[in-house]
Amino acid sequence: MSRGIHGQYLHINPAQHIVVAWPVARPKAVGKEGVDDLDFLAKIVEKLAPP
């Protein structure tokens, strides 16, 4: 997973053939402790994963 300082994410899971790109542009940059979007992204990947 890659994370940008303005809230962008890129998650690539080749084993499950899933790519999630989140091109968010928050007005202020955040550090690792700023916003926790990982739970939300994990739910997206969970729903997209093949049975």
Reading the block at residue 51, the tokens are 């049975």
Residue 27: what pLDDT? 75
- pLDDT tens-digit readout, 1-51: 787 877 788 988 898 888 888 887 777 766 655 556 777 788 888 888 887
Number of domains in the chain: 1
Give the domain range for residue 22.
2-48
Residue 28: what pLDDT? 72
Residue 35: what pLDDT? 55
Say if CB 7 and CB 35 are below 8 A apart.
yes
CA dist 7 and 42 (Å) reads 15
Reading the block at residue 19, the tokens are 């790519």
| Farthest-apart Cα atoms in the chain, separation | 38
